[in-house]
Amino acid sequence: VTAADRLTELGIQLPDPFPAFGNYVMSVRTGDTLHVTGHVPVTAGGAVTGKLGADLTAEDGYAAARAAAICLLGTLQGELGSLERVGRLVYLHATINAAPDFTEHTAVADGASDLLVDVLGERGRHARLAVGVSSLPGDVALEIQVVVELTPDLPRT
């Protein structure tokens, strides 16, 4: 089953690749490794903003992390042409905009991890770091940044 099949089964339509808002690019390849810029949660209603544990609940955060992962897949689809070129999701860094007494980062980050494993299968399983930060650009609820191993058959560009 391909990632595209799974997305169809889940009723998810990927957004266009995410645009850059500063002087950076959305991903850089080195060897067979792709470093991807941090993605924020954007839904049909716009960017999800606010702090976990103050403005947003852990459930809100789970949904936001899932939305950010969908934005990330949109970028990967655009940059790679196909999600089948994802050989392995290696590492995911979740930075969560949170109040100082927030403790449910694991549950929030699982919103991204669950979606990525659901769509990519075993190759979606990743090492992870989830932390709470005091502020994020535009007061977005979270950012997820990943390192991806590409399939070896990807032609060098």
31: CB partners within 8 A, 6+ apart: none
- Per CB under 8 A, does 110 bind its own copies? yes
d(CA 70, CA 154): 23
x/- mask, its own copies, residues 8-27, rule CB under 8 A, reads -------------xxxxxxx
Among 6, 35, 60, 151, binds its own copies (CB under 8 A): 35
- Per CB under 8 A, does 139 bind its own copies? yes
d(CA 112, CA 72): 10
Closest to its own copies by CB, 13 or 153: 153
Residues near its own copies (CB under 8 A), total: 60
153: CB partners within 8 A, 6+ apart: none
- Per CB under 8 A, does 85 bind its own copies? no
* Nearest of 83, 80, 62 to residue 5 by alpha carbon: 83
- 70-83 b/e with 16+ CB inside 10 Å = b? bbbbbbbbebbeeb
- Per CB under 8 A, does 77 bind its own copies? no
Chain residues that interact with its own copies, rule: CB under 8 A: 21-28, 30-33, 35-38, 51, 53, 88-93, 95-96, 98-107, 109-110, 113-114, 117, 125-139, 143, 145, 147, 149
